[in-house]
Amino acid sequence: MSQATLTAASPRTPAVVLGGTGYVAGELLRLIAGHPTLELLAVMSEGSPGEPVAGAFPHLASAYSETRFATLGEVTKLLAGTPASAVFSAAPHGVSAGLIDALLAETARAGTSARIVDISADFRYASAAAYEKVYGHAHGAPALLEDFTCALPEHLGELTTPHVGHPGCFATAVLLAAMPLLALGLVEPMLFVSGVTGSTGSGRRPVEGTHHPLRHGDLYGYNALAHRHAPEIVACARAATGVEAEIAFVPHSGPFARGIHVTVQARLTRALDAAQARGALSEYYARAPFVRISDRAPHVKEVAASNFAHLSAAANGRTIAVMCAIDNLVKGAAGGALQWMNRMLGLPETAGLCQPAPGWT
């Protein structure tokens, strides 16, 4: 179904964005503006209530020239009067769960319905204890954990919960590369991962790691073997495949704004050459519209600002290396969340997400 046909045939669904001034929220707003059936109802920012959205995101002025940030109270009131809505939370870790809890409590009282995709880390673990072990503070809404599933759309055939916790951007890239290897039993369950991310992955607030004079022209590792996405990757892989994998993950900061490139290496359980390895990936992702397998090494510039993931593989009979490039803000966050919401609303998974990468970011 074409986007024009979908627009004409489908009713509009009100959409809400929480945590509205960050980079991921900006990407959500951009994608919603071009979506065939979603229509922005409100964007919440407790730090900028009443301020124009175009002030925070001048590049979105043509879509939201009159829109202003709302408070939590204003958003809950709107949702209470909206029969069904799509809610995206781009609020910070540790904050998102409380906001979602308040919204769901209000919609329950009003008898309305909201489907939620949370892009923070608050609903990526099955238990409060697992979350608290990684993030070092109590979970904001432990009673809601059973209502969320954390997975990528490519790795879960049927969603059995009303809401989704989207994996992190690094986790998205690693899982796209690693899941076929584990699910097909191609490798020993010990993964060695090296990844490079752009500066937008650190968020909008300037810090030393995103300061341009320091980051430009440089490359350095950080949190080696101790990154918080590592246990998340292990948990997602376990839930999807039943395999208890180990991961040795070394992330790096790259001298570019957006994009992630990861290389996942593992010892093969049976001899494969490169063509066979890529064939296995192609078969695994045959029905995944945003995953492309090539014999050409993936380039960040070829996926930046898009929802596509490019993968390739090399193998020498004993070891396999799978490389994956994604955009951290789109496929790793806002686009992946919208992909989930499309499925939750019964829409084509690709709705509003097929724009190609610009290529010269």
Query: What sign does the dihedral 137-236-153-303 (CA atoms) show?
Result: positive
Closest by Cα among 13, 6, 7, 70 to 40: 13
169 is catalytic: yes
d(CA 168, CA 331): 10
Look up residue 47 and give its amino acid.
G
Number of Cβ within 10 Å of residue 132's Cβ equals 14
φ/ψ of 194, rounded to 5, equals -120, 130
Give the residues across from 85 on adjacent strands.
114
Q: Among candidates 109, 99, 117, 114, which has minimal Cα distance to 41? A: 114
The amino acid that residue 103 corresponds to is L
Pairing of strands 38-43, 163-165: unpaired
**Active site residue: 169, 236, 324, 354, which one?**
169
H helices present in the chain, as ranges? 3-9, 23-33, 53-56, 72-80, 96-110, 128-135, 169-183, 212-215, 229-241, 274-284, 335-344
State how far the Cα of 98 lies from the Cα of 356, in Å rounded to an integer: 36
Catalytic residues, by residue number, are 169
